[in-house]
């Protein structure tokens, strides 16, 4: 069988108040072409299909249009699990209807974990042994532990990690009960220790301080491949490479600009599971430029934009003196003359506190909640330790994001 592992589509994402529908449609078109070209039997999407719990209607249209086209192609089934950005009830609602399109959806962990285990056979080769998939979605705190009054942070961390490990052990037991003789694949949407979380500023912290993280060694050994989502840079977690993040197909922040995006293609031919990367084309350039005012002007003047490409989006970081309103307008105008658009003009804040910086020119879309709170903490002079307040804020932010 041929299987594609992808994740973190984030359909409906707003990028500094700009929509990305054209880019997402281009990626899903590329994905359909790849499925046809490589004769793919199964598509696995490991969470964060949508960017918010209540995605815009256009994002939903793109999603259902893709699944309809996938079904019409014939020959390829799909298994989709929820991520921390997704609303589990929203994903699960049409699950019964989507089954008719050979699409299995697991938005939240079912009461009976066996209901999240699927056997998928090749529709192209009846002699192929198929695969078993343990479709584990994002595990929320309530899925893995009960709140305990007066519980310390260390106890909370230990019980949350134990709960995540126990959930995987339980679904592995459900697989063994079905006497699987084909390769075993598990999904997941979490932070696995060993993966790099410093690459992107677009990844939400899933649990407080990532306390729900587990190591690659804590996944059951019976899995031949673990298809992960959440981290936006494609990477391996285990030493032998069978626990993998496919990464997001689009760069979701300027911190991901210039990196290579990919999907994973898994092959189970002759009972030997192998996998490799397939690069995803860049549909729109995200460009981050840094320098003093004159250097930035020179870089913008030299910028080459093809008339056939989507308008490149730029982040400019000004070094040296603080930029004036006039400089901001000059840089944006210069980029526009050369076919690009500046979405953010920032400051190199190294060596400066937030009180040294003039933030009046920034819009709320240019600041993350964590950044706003961090700047507020710099002026805090209370009795509660700043680290404690930070943990509390992270917990409240996670609850608010999950309730969106």
Residue 359: band (very low, low, confident or very high) from pLDDT cuts 50, 70, 90: very low
Q: Taking 80 as the threshold, does the pLDDT of residue 161 lie above it? A: yes
Q: Taking 90 as the threshold, does the pLDDT of residue 35 lie above it? A: yes
Does pTM surpass 0.75? yes
Q: Which of 5-9, 234-238, 385-389 has the lowest mean pLDDT?
A: 385-389
Percent of the chain beyond pLDDT 70? Answer: 81
Q: Taking 70 as the threshold, does the pLDDT of residue 215 lie above it? A: yes
For 277, other C-beta atoms within 10 Å of its C-beta total 15
Span 158-176, average pLDDT: 89
Q: Taking 50 as the threshold, does the pLDDT of residue 6 lie above it? A: yes
Q: Taking 80 as the threshold, does the pLDDT of residue 1 lie above it? A: yes
Q: Taking 70 as the threshold, does the pLDDT of residue 212 lie above it? A: no
Give domain 2-280's CATH architecture. 4-Layer Sandwich (3.60)
Q: Which of 31-40, 90-99, 127-136, 137-146 has the lowest mean pLDDT?
A: 137-146
Q: Which residue has the higher pLDDT, 45 or 253?
A: 45
For 110, counting Cβ atoms within 10 Å of its Cβ (0-12 exposed, 13-18 middle, 19+ buried), the class is middle
pLDDT at 356: 45
Q: Taking 50 as the threshold, does the pLDDT of residue 354 lie above it? A: no
Q: Where are the domains of the chain?
A: 2-280, 286-402
Q: Which residue has the higher pLDDT, 177 or 57?
A: 57
User: Of the ranges 152-161, 171-180, 237-246, 378-387, which is most confident?
Assistant: 237-246
**Average pLDDT value over all residues in the chain:** 85
Span 258-262, average pLDDT: 89
Q: Which residue has the higher pLDDT, 194 or 329?
A: 329
Percent of the chain beyond pLDDT 90? Answer: 59
pLDDT at 388: 67
């Amino acid at each position: 069988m041929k299987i594609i592992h992808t994740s973190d589509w984030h359909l409906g994402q707003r990028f500094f108040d700009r929509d990305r529908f054209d880019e997402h449609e281009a990626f899903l078109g590329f994905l359909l072409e790849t499925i046809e070209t490589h004769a793919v039997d199964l598509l696995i999407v490991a969470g964060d299909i949508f960017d918010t719990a209540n995605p815009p209607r256009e994002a939903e249209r793109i999603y259902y249009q893709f699944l309809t086209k996938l079904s019409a192609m014939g020959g390829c089934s799909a298994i989709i699990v929820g991520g921390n950005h997704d609303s589990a009830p929203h994903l699960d609602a049409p699950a019964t209807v989507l089954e008719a399109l050979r699409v299995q959806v697991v938005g939240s962990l079912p009461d009976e974990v066996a209901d999240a285990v699927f056997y998928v056979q090749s529709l192209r080769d009846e002699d192929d042994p198929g695969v078993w998939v343990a479709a584990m979605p994002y595990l929320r705190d309530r899925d893995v532990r009960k709140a305990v009054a007066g519980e310390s942070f260390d106890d909370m961390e230990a019980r949350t990690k134990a709960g995540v490990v126990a959930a995987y052990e339980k679904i592995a037991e459900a697989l063994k009960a079905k006497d699987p003789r084909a390769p075993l694949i598990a999904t997941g949407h979490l932070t696995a220790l060993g993966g790099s979380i410093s690459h992107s500023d677009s990844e939400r912290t899933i649990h407080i301080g990532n306390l729900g993280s587990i190591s690659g060694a804590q996944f059951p050994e019976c899995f031949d491949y673990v298809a992960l989502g959440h981290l936006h840079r494609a990477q391996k977690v285990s030493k032998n490479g069978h626990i993998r993040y496919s990464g997001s197909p689009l760069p979701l922040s300027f911190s991901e600009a210039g990196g290579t995006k990919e999907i994973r293609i898994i092959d189970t031919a002759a009972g030997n599971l192998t996998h490799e990367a397939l690069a995803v084309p860049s549909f729109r350039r995200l460009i981050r430029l840094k320098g003093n005012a004159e250097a930035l002007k020179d870089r913008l003047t030299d910028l080459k934009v093809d008339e056939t490409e989507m308008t490149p989006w730029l982040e400019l970081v000004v070094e040296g003196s603080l930029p004036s309103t006039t400089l901001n307008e000059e840089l944006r105008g210069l980029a526009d003359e050369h076919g690009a658009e500046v979405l953010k003009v920032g400051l190199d804040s190294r060596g400066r506190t937030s009180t040294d910086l003039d933030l009046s020119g920034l819009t709320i879309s240019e600041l993350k909640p964590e950044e706003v709170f961090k700047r507020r903490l710099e002026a805090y002079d209370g009795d509660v330790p700043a680290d404690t307040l930070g943990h509390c804020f992270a917990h409240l932010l996670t609850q608010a994001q999950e309730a969106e």
